[in-house]
Amino acid sequence: MAEMLQNLSNDLAATVEAAGQSIVRIEARRRQTATGVVYSADGLIVTTHHVVERDDNITVGLPDGTSVAATLVGRDPTTDIAVLRAQANGLTPATWAELDAMAVGHMVLAIGRPGRTLQATLGIISALGESYRTGAGGQIDAYVQTDVVMYPGFSGGPLVSAGGQMLGLNTSALMRGVSLTLPTPTIRRVAETLMTHGKVRRGYLGVSAQPVKLPENIAQSSGQEHGLLVAAVEPNSPAANGGLMLGDTMLTFDGNNVQQMDDLLALLHSDRVGSSVPVRVVRGGEIREIQVMVGERN
């Protein structure tokens, strides 16, 4: 038994050491450092958005102990992901695992480099669920919760499997008191967009709405029981310019039923920015269709 535990202990230490070759320190906020992960050998680093409080005077501490300047490539507050470019080459990119490599109960490591040396904590994946939308509207490909302790400076660092693969980035910003991990598909999707465009484009209408039960005759003719009651329309917004009015009940957006606010947010992706889309609404007890040009959220 003692030998088994010693072998496990040695294996975990070796996993931390190997993963550490792709883990860096991020100095981009006052009084507290954070952690990042090497995305490409030529200096691209992924970390969390909330630990990058400034857009310039950013420093990255490399695994060999040296420090180099870095610039902000882009950030997406809605998914809490940022990409930096460090002035370095020949770095060791992380090896990322896909969602199917995770299961509830799997042993995992959270690794950080808040100082010159690595720190690690051990835990398990305590919950694994479907995709969800953050409070800011960002789409996360899976709900990944762990029981690892998020020590100061660990945000932006990786969740690492027992086999040494990066399962995602740990963040303490999305849900208070809960250790969540941004999974590989989300990181890859957002990082590639940031590297191409510098930001993630998101559609914007300029309305506040709440779910309401539809009158029986409208429910029967529309084939849905609920719609979105428009509670507010921002002046000069795409919604206002398209003729959407306070008191309208939205039924569909570009042919898709909208019965919850999340339904509408999910449809306001980058591909629809600048497009004129049909919106079916109930106004004065009648169903009518209007055209709305989707704007871009600043």
Give catalytic residues, as residue numbers. 50, 80, 155
The pair of three-digit structure tokens given for residue 258, joined into one six-digit string: 């909208």
Long-range CB contacts for residues 13-20, cutoff 8 Å, separation at least 24: 15/109, 15/160, 15/162, 15/163, 15/164, 16/109, 16/111, 16/118, 16/120, 16/160, 17/118, 18/164, 19/94, 19/109, 19/111, 19/158, 19/160, 19/164, 19/166, 20/63, 20/111, 20/113, 20/118
Residue type at position 211: P
- What gap in Å lies between CA 167 and CA 109, rounded to an integer? 10
CA distance readout (Å), 188 to 14, 141, 182, 183: 26, 11, 10, 9
- What gap in Å lies between CA 102 and CA 100, rounded to an integer? 5
Estimate to the nearest angstrom the gap between the alpha carbon of 250 and the chain centroid: 28
The pair of three-digit structure tokens given for residue 14, joined into one six-digit string: 């070796």
Residue type at position 171: T
Encode burial over 50-59: b for 16+ CB neighbours within 10 A, e otherwise: bbbeeeeebe
3-state helix, strand, coil in the chain (%, to 5): 20, 40, 40
Helix (H) or strand (E) holding 241: helix 238-242
